Amino acid sequence: MRKFTQIDGLVAPLDRANVDTDAIIPKQFLKSIKRSGFGPNAFDEWRYLDHGEPGMDNAKRAPNPDFVLNQPRYQGASILLTRENFGCGSSREHAPWALEDYGFRALIGPSFADIFFNNCFKNGLLPIRLPASEVEALFALVQATPGFKLRIDLDAQTVTRPDGKALRFEVDAFRKYCLLNGFDDIGLTLRHADKIRDFEARRRIEQPWLFA
């Protein structure tokens, strides 16, 4: 997994609540058996005027000029500013894969859906929860300031605005440790292989019907 330490990134605002993972990556793209290449189809139904299907040359499709991420000022954004309950719905990890492949490294919003939130950390994508009032202020600043950037420091757990105001965020210590180091969860878990085997052996005796 790609490490996440610090970024200075251009911010793009997606000003709607309850953005679901079907919207982030529509179902027709889930037929892929790969975990890369989803970026050009992130937000496909909002982003293009035509209906997208796998295998299309996305460069030849007409972008929807009304969709915020298509505006020239947000090209190259690596931070997505969102509203409540971002990533709700389907557990598809294709959603964080699409966002990461698009170029996002961090998401900032008042709340995220549980499964999506968890999936982000497996892909070097940092979801940051900030109080609704701070998010509201960031939306106002982004809209008012072309080229608006934020600095995110995972080690310090801060989002710093251009005016110097630093917003502190919470992150689980274990997730932070994995993300800072780019650690593969499976490798870390397998350090406890003996414990897992012991647990399993005990369980086989206590609840044998689970091992039929």
Partner 1 sequence: MPKTLYDKLWEDHVVHVEEDGTALLYIDRHLVHEVTSPQAFEGLRLAGRKPWRVSSIVATADHNTPTDHWDEGIKDPISRQQVETLDANIHESGALAYFPFRDLRQGIVHVIGPENGATLPGMTVVCGDSHTSTHGAFACLAHGIGTSEVEHVLATQCLLQKKSKAMLVKVDGALGRGVSAKDLALALIGRIGTAGGTGYAIEFGGSTIRALSMEGRMTLCNMAIEAGARVGFIAVDDTTINYLKGRAFAPLGDNWDRAVAHWRTLVSDAGARFDAVVEVDARSILPQVTWGTSPEMVTDVKGRVPAPEDFADPVKREGVERALQYMGLTPRTPIDRIAVDKVFIGSCTNSRIEDLRAAAAIAKGRRKADNVKLVLVVPGSGLVKRQAEAEGLDKIFIAAGFEWREPGCSMCLAMNADRLEPGERCASTSNRNFEGRQGNGGRTHLVSPAMAATAAIAGHFADVRELI
What is the crossing angle of helices 114-121 and 94-102, to 10°?
Answer: 50
Q: What residues between 86 and 115 interact with partner 1 by CB under 8 A?
A: 88-94, 96, 111, 113-115
- Select the residue interacting with partner 1 from 14, 23, 98, 142 (CB under 8 A): 23
| Closer residue to partner 1 (CB): 52 or 149 | 52
Q: Are 89 and 113 in contact (CB under 8 A)?
A: yes
Q: Are 172 and 126 in contact (CB under 8 A)?
A: no
Q: Which stretch binds partner 1 (CB under 8 A): 20-28, 62-70, 98-106, 153-161?
A: 20-28
| Closer residue to partner 1 (CB): 117 or 160 | 117
Asked if 140 touches partner 1 (CB under 8 A), the answer is: no
- Alpha-carbon span 48 to 56, nearest angstrom: 12
Q: What number of other Cβ atoms are within 10 A of residue 188's Cβ?
A: 13
CA 92 from chain center: how many Å? 12
Asked if 26 touches partner 1 (CB under 8 A), the answer is: yes
Asked if 58 touches partner 1 (CB under 8 A), the answer is: no
- Alpha-carbon span 95 to 156, nearest angstrom: 27
- Alpha-carbon span 178 to 184, nearest angstrom: 7
Contacting positions for partner 1 (CB under 8 A): 15-18, 20, 22-23, 26-28, 30-35, 45, 51, 54-55, 83-85, 88-94, 96, 111, 113-115, 118-119, 122-123, 172-175, 185-186, 189-190, 192-193, 195-196, 199-200, 203, 207-212
